[in-house]
Each structure stands twice: as C-alpha cells, then as structure tokens.
Amino acid sequence: MMSPEEVLESLKASSPPRVHKTLDAVYLACKEQKERKSTDFSYAMIAKVGKVYGVPAKQSLHNEGGARYRTLIDAFAAEVPPKPKPVSGKYAWIEGLPIGEQKLLTKMLLAELKAAEFKLREILPPNKIVSLDTRQQPSELFKLLPGERRALEYLISSDFLSERSLTLGSRGDAYGPNGEQLFRPGTFNALKKALEHL
C-alpha cells in the first residue's frame, strides 16, 4: 500500500502542471486533518477544511474531474485505523475494564460461554420445553409388601366390584347399587398408580 506522499508524487507525475497546485492543496488539507488526529476524511470535510488552501468544493471533488483528488483523500483515509464498533448489550461492561490480564481473561471466559451456549442451542433448540423428573425411584422402605400389593389389586379387581355391586365411573370413582358415589373421583386411578410405582 502506498503512502499518501507516494500517491501524491504518482498523481503529480501523471497529471498536467495546472493540477499540481490543487493536489498540493488537497494534500495540505488532509495532512491537517491527520495532525488533528481526526478520522473524518470525507470529501465534504476535506473541501471544508481545505477551502483556505484552495481545495475545490465538495461537488467538484465528486465530479469526474475530481478522481485524482479523491484518490489522494482515500490514501489518507486508508491510514486511519477503523473505528471500533461501540459495544452494546449485556457484555458491554467488559470494554470498560482496564486493558490487561483481567480484560483478557474476561474475554476468554466470554468466548467459552458463547461456545457453550452455541452447543446448547444445537442440542436444545430455543423455545423447546424439556421436563426433567428429578424424583428418585422409591427406596425399598416404600415398596409394597406382597400382602399389601394383593390387597390393592383386589380393590381394583372386577371381583371386588361385582361382589359389592359397584360400577366404575369415568373419573376413577365408583358408584353403589343405588347410584350413590362410594369412592371419590381419582381413587381407582391412585390405586393403579400406587401399584405401578411402589
């Protein structure tokens, strides 16, 4: 990449002498911007700053005849380091840390966090609900003894229901011969679950 001085010499070598004075004026305006440590090398700004040196107006720089001047301005603009993007979001506070080991370690941890979050999104897509049952299997203390199991099995058997003239309801309840509710809703469902899990 050529320096602005080399670009100026190259442009002067390929331009008629009447253009040299304007190229020098553009060079001085750009040099002044650089000395101010400004990062604005827009054609409008150079035309404004360089008015005292004889830089053409902004429109003239944009015209076809202003291509040489734009090339020189662009050479200065290329030397300006790109402006860091303003950081926003929940991790913006990291940029406020002093430069050093702490900031470096924090950025490394953030990179690890983002990698882990990415892997998690691959395994478990967003908005997917996963239910985890963290209950432990019942211990041997809570297992039904053989006699207890037989008693519960008898309660839900058709033999028990027919001997007592009971009819099962649709909600796990039972009704007597006269239609009165003898077992509340969910009773027989609870008995079945107890047999299944205990």
Q: Of 79, 97, 122, which marks where a domain is finished? A: 79
Let me know if residue 174 belongs to a domain.
yes
| Gap between the Cα atoms of 173 and 187, Å rounded | 6
Let me know if residue 90 belongs to a domain.
no
pLDDT over 70, % of the chain = 93
Mean pLDDT to the nearest integer, 29-36 = 90
Nearest to 72 by CA among 123, 122, 112, 19: 19
Strand, helix or coil for residue 186: coil
Could you tell me if 143 and 195 are in contact, meaning their C-beta atoms sit under 8 angstroms apart? Answer: no
pLDDT tens for each residue of 16-25: 888 899 999 9
| Gap between the Cα atoms of 196 and 190, Å rounded | 10
| Gap between the Cα atoms of 176 and 43, Å rounded | 96
Let me know if residue 127 belongs to a domain.
no
Let me know if residue 132 belongs to a domain.
no
Let me know if residue 109 belongs to a domain.
no
pLDDT attached to residue 131: 76
Mean pLDDT to the nearest integer, 26-37 = 90
pLDDT attached to residue 115: 93
* Chain mean pLDDT for the chain: 86
Let me know if residue 101 belongs to a domain.
no
118-143 exposure pattern, b = at least 16 Cβ within 10 A, e = fewer? eeeeeeeeeeeeeeeeeeeeeeeeee
- Of 86 and 69, the structure prediction assigns the larger pLDDT to 69
Q: Of 79, 98, 119, which marks where a domain is finished? A: 79
Total of domains in the chain:
2
pLDDT tens for each residue of 149-161: 999 999 999 999 8
Instruction: Please tell me whether the overall predicted TM-score, pTM, comes out greater than 0.85 for this model.
Output: no
Domain assignment of residue 178, given as a range: 140-197
pLDDT tens for each residue of 102-135: 888 898 999 999 999 998 888 877 787 777 777 7
> Running DSSP on this structure, what letter comes out for residue 136?
P
Q: Of 62, 79, 96, which marks where a domain is finished? A: 79
